[in-house]
Amino acid sequence: MTIRVLLADDQTLLRATFRMLIDSCADMKVIAEAADGADAVAATREHRPDVVVMDIRMPGTDGLAATATICGDEALAATRVLILTTFEIDEYVARALHAGASGFLGKDVGADELLAAIRTVAEGDALLSPTATRALITRFLALPAPTATARAIPAALATLTAREREILVLVAEGYSNQDIARHLVISPLTARTHVHRAMAKLDARDRAQLVVIAYQSGLLQRTPPD
C-alpha cells in the first residue's frame, strides 16, 4: 500500500526537497502541498492523506492550530500528523502532542530517519524518539486538559486488563513494541496487539494519545521541572 503524504511548509524549496525524497520511495507519494496552516487543513479535507508532514511556524494559521483542527475532525480520523520543525522546544512538543500529533522531529534529521518516521506514523505508532523528545514528553505532557475525553479517562482505564495497563505504562515511558516485547518476554506481534487493544478501549487514535492518557489520568506522574 502506498502511503499518501501531504507536505505543509511555507518554504517552497524545502517542500520541493521533501517531495523529491518521498517520491523516490516505492511505498510513498506526495499527493498535495500547502504553504500555511489554513491551506493544510483545506488540502487535508480534500485529499485525505495518510500522513501530513507539518511545519509549526507558518504565516496565518500555524502548524499547531492546523494540527488541532485536523486531529479534532472525526472525518479525518485516518490521517496522522508528523510535526517537522526547526524549533524543538518543550512548549511546542507538549502542545503538538496535546493537539493530536503522532510524532515530532527536528528538521536536521537525516533522509532515512524522516522516511522511517513517516512509515512509523502511517502505521499508527507514535514517534517517541529520539531520547530527548521522549524526555520532554515525560516532563510536560501532564498539563491540564479539562475536556470531556479527559474526564472520561478514569472509567475507560477500568476496562483495561492488567497486561494492557502494564503495557500502557511502558508506552508512556517511550517503549517501542520491540522494547515492550523484550521487557515482557513476549513477541513483538503480541505487544502490538495489546497496544492496539488499549487504543481501541481508550478511544485513542494513536500511541501519542495513549501517552497523554497515561499522564492525564495519573497512571504516571509528571516529572517536576529542574
CATH of the domain at 174: 1.10.10.10
d(CA 106, CA 157): 33
Q: Are residues 17 and 108 in the same domain?
A: yes
pLDDT tens for each residue of 44-79: 999 999 999 999 999 899 999 999 999 999 999 999
Query: Do residues 58 and 32 make contact, with C-beta atoms less than 8 angstroms apart?
Result: no
CATH of the domain at 73: 3.40.50.2300
Give me the number of domains the chain comprises. 2
Query: Do residues 170 and 220 make contact, with C-beta atoms less than 8 angstroms apart?
Result: no
pTM given for the model: 0.69
What Rg, from alpha-carbon coordinates, does the chain have? Answer: 17
C-alpha cell at 124: 499508527
d(CA 52, CA 56): 12
pLDDT tens for each residue of 103-158: 888 888 889 989 988 998 898 777 654 444 555 555 555 555 544 444 455 577 88
d(CA 205, CA 130): 21
Q: Are residues 14 and 108 in the same domain?
A: yes
The domain of 179 spans 148-216
